[in-house]
Amino acid sequence: MKKFVVTVLILGILGAGGYGVYHYFFENKGEAERVSSDAENAVYVDLVSNITGFGSGNGLIDRYGGKVEPQATLEVKLESDRKVEECFVKEGDEVQEGQRLFVYETQEDEDKIAQAEIDIEKAEGDIEIAQKAIKQYEKDKANATNSDDQLMATTNILSTQNEIKSKEYEIKTKKLEMEKLRESIAGATVTADMGGIVQKISDSSGQDNYGYGYGSGGDSAYITILAAGDYRIKGRINEQNMNQIDVGMPIIVHSRVDDSLTWNGTISEIKTDNTDEDENNNNFYYSGMNSESSSSSYAFYVELEHSEGLILGQHVYLEPDLGQEEEKTGLWLEDYYVIQENDKAYVWMANTANVIEKHEITLGEYDEELMKYEVTDGLDAEDYIAYPMDTIQEGDPVIYNDYMSMGLGGMNMDMGDMGLDGMDMDMGDMSLDGMDMGEMDMDGEMLSDPGADVFDLDADSDSGEEMLDAYDADSDNDEDVLDLDEEADDDSSEDAEQEN
């Protein structure tokens, strides 16, 4: 039984090797004929299917980092020298426009108003006394008998009049102060200027920035509210690439997790008045890599057609919409590959002799947005073409930019490497005479099964793997199986009986 299994294995190896040689030299003949040259004037050529397959995320179209954020962010900051008495919302609450958020303490302002009223009342009393004093000084001046007394009376009158004016100014100032304090008390309750979700409520003490503001959130805000509704995308672009985007440019938004998930939008704003100095790194994605730069980056915003499926804070990729998502039928080639001379179109193409030639093609429509020609004849996806350069001359050898560029010269078909040279293939040593192989047709199919009690393919072995497993289990020691010289003299019938 062991000899039979070994025989089947060897026949299988020979059959697989024979098919591999046939497949390499005959079935794969077209591919094997592509042989790259190592000459100095060799021209690099690329597979047309790779060239025409270029599109989103391959490095030919710039990508930028972006983050999903609400349409607007309201930052409610505290007024100077005011303290919060009570806050009516908490983080996560959904608020409506005009809803109360918090109220300031007003007791201090009320005390100031009361004090101002007292000060005004006192100033009015001082004015009344001063007016009476002036009347007395006028009488003294009228009754004065000499010039010195008249001068003194006049001086007292002028001085008292200045005091009255000072008190009147004080009263006016106090009234203005009281008016502001009353307005402050009336506006002690702060409401939301827009509806949204309360994202954050900070400690109300120690705030050093005050008032309302719209932005992207900040530590100085007391309450931060994110606008409800559709989202927008905030992207960043390096100053060196600012000329590549414009307001109104259509944008495709790609998920970083699943590149097939996309959203469409338009650049609505590019902020050039301030920079994102803290986000300078990893702000520009190109050809699968992040470009780090020490230069400044600027924010731009993309308004989406819809934001369904996006999550607030999600990181995405942004790329200009150049029509790359549109699927076109036929073969479309970038116009810079096409050479047009004398009303005819050509490409530099590698021929079967592995040299470059100027090959005529037939052009169809032209896509101005994508800058591509439709090639209707003369070029297939399996052809190889080169970027037209002035140094290319017809007949130059080529270098194929793919895994098959080694050609036949790069494949060592020395059968000795397969280990067959070291195998003792003396079939006489295997004593096949004692084996009933049955009848076989020309294709190797079993027509009769006289040896079913020895090797039943259907009952005992549904696959070659089961046969090999049985063989491996039976041969724990390689010497017991592969030492054909010693086993050849053994009685094959005895082995078969022991095996059964």
Bridge pairing between strands 231-238 and 63-70: antiparallel
pLDDT-based confidence at residue 294 (cuts at 50, 70, 90): low
pLDDT of 363 > 90? The answer is yes
- Judged against a pLDDT cut of 70, whether residue 14 lies above it is answered with no
**% of the chain residues with pLDDT over 70:** 64
> Are 86 and 197 members of one domain?
yes
Q: How many domains does the chain have?
A: 5
Question: Which stretch of 18-22, 34-38, 387-391, 449-453 has the lowest confidence by average pLDDT?
Answer: 449-453
Assess whether 370 and 394 both reside in one domain.
yes
Same domain, 316 and 351: no
- Among 4-13, 71-80, 235-244, where is mean pLDDT lowest? 4-13
Mean pLDDT, rounded, for 78-107: 91
Residue 184 CA: distances (Å) to CA of 106, 195, 240, 300, 444: 8, 24, 49, 38, 102
Residue finishing a domain among 406, 431, 458: 406
Query: By mean pLDDT, which of 317-321, 330-334, 428-432 is the weakest?
Result: 428-432
Q: Are residues 218 and 111 in the same domain?
A: no
For the ranges 99-103, 365-369, 395-399, the lowest mean pLDDT is seen at 365-369
More confident residue, 302 or 420: 302
User: Which CATH number fits the domain that encloses residue 277?
Assistant: 2.40.30.170
pLDDT at position 429, please? Answer: 42
Supply the range of the domain harboring residue 198: 73-105+189-225
321 Rama sector, left if φ>0, alpha if ψ -120 to 50, beta otherwise: beta
Considering only residues 48 and 30, tell me which one the structure prediction assigns the higher pLDDT: 48
CA distance 477 to 483: 10
Q: What is the CATH number of the domain that holds 46?
A: 2.40.420.20
Split at pLDDT 50, 70, 90, the class of 389 is: very high
Please, which pLDDT band fits residue 484 given cuts at 50, 70 and 90?
A: very low
Which whole number is the average pLDDT over 188-200? 90
Same-domain check for residues 201 and 77: yes
Q: What is the pLDDT of residues 225-279, one digit of tens each?
A: 988 777 899 999 888 888 889 999 999 999 988 878 999 999 999 988 765 544 4
Q: What is the pLDDT of residue 323?
A: 72
367 and 483, same domain (yes or no): no
Of the three residues 371, 406, 441, the one that is the final residue of a domain is 406
Beta strands per DSSP E along 230-293: 231-238, 250-255, 262-270, 284-286, 289-290
Between CA 182 and CA 174 the distance in angstroms is 12
Picking from 9-13, 81-85, 240-244, 261-265, which range would have the lowest pLDDT averaged per residue?
A: 9-13
Measuring CA to CA, how many Å separate 290 from each of 160, 238, 281, 297, 428?
80, 12, 8, 14, 67
pLDDT average, residue stretch 78-85: 87
Q: Are residues 391 and 276 located together in one domain of the fold?
A: no
Q: pLDDT digits over 443-474, tens only? A: 333 333 343 333 343 434 444 444 444 444 44
Q: Are residues 101 and 196 in the same domain?
A: yes
> Do 249 and 320 touch, CB atoms closer than 8 A?
yes
> What band does 122 get if pLDDT is binned at 50, 70 and 90?
very high
| DSSP character at residue 226 | E
The reply to whether 377 and 439 lie within a common domain is no
User: In the Cβ-directed half-sphere of 400, how many Cα atoms lie within 13 Å?
Assistant: 23
- Better-predicted residue by pLDDT, 348 or 214: 348
Cα separation values, 355 from 31, 35, 395, 409, Å: 15, 10, 5, 16
Cα–Cα distance measured from residue 158 to residue 152, given in angstroms and rounded to the nearest whole number: 10
Tell me the pLDDT band of 192, cut-offs 50, 70 and 90: very high
Number of C-alpha atoms within 13 angstroms, CB side, residue 431? 15
Query: Given 351, 380, 406, which residue is the final one in a domain?
Result: 406
Same domain, 139 and 260: no
Structure tokens at 386: 């080169």
As a whole number, mean pLDDT of residues 345-365 equals 95
Q: Are 129 and 135 in contact (CB under 8 A)?
A: no
Do 145 and 193 belong together in one domain?
Answer: no
Same domain membership, residue 346 and residue 388: yes
Neighbours of 414 (CB within 10 A): 7
CATH number of residue 89's parent domain: 2.40.50.100
